[in-house]
Amino acid sequence: YLFISSILTMFLAGISAFFEYDLKKIIALSTLSQLGVMMFSLSIGLKYLAFFHLIVHAFFKALMFLSGGSLMYGYFGNQDIRYMGSVSMVGVYVNGSMIFSMFCLGAFPFLASFFSKHLILESFLFGDYSIFLLMIIYMSNSLTLFYSVRLIYFL
């Protein structure tokens, strides 16, 4: 049950975050999606990789929460990303740290989450699972990248 529920959690949280415009909800849904990744790795027996992904996720998610809070403060409490067109008014460093945390979330190569997600997906790939589950897992991880790029576009 943990295997199927974690896959559904990753997939549905990714789709919901992709169609959301509220910055707080996007950050919360990305956290839910990454918790699905951790539960997925636990369900296939990778408890050390799940813990590694938890620690890595905690670091870049803390940066994302701080950057998101600073963005909302700079826009006088506005959480809608459609109205955050010129982030340079708030600050270049806030914008840079938000983009960096989104790159970490999307598993950009040679950042920390790239190694944790890649090891989890590689371990799943070498198991004998169906091609349908493999496509759903990779689609869920692609959705993470898609809503990260979408948020960067709106910022």
> Could you identify the residue written with the tokens 């169906």?
130
Q: What is the mean pLDDT of residues 58-76?
A: 87
- Residue 10 tokens read as 């990753």
pLDDT digits (tens, 9 = 90+) for 15-51: 999 999 999 999 999 999 999 999 999 999 889 999 9
Asked if pLDDT for residue 89 goes beyond 70, the answer is no
Amino acid at 9: T
Percent of all residues in the chain with a pLDDT value above 90, rounded to a whole number: 33
Count of alpha carbons within 13 Å of 155, Cβ hemisphere only? 29
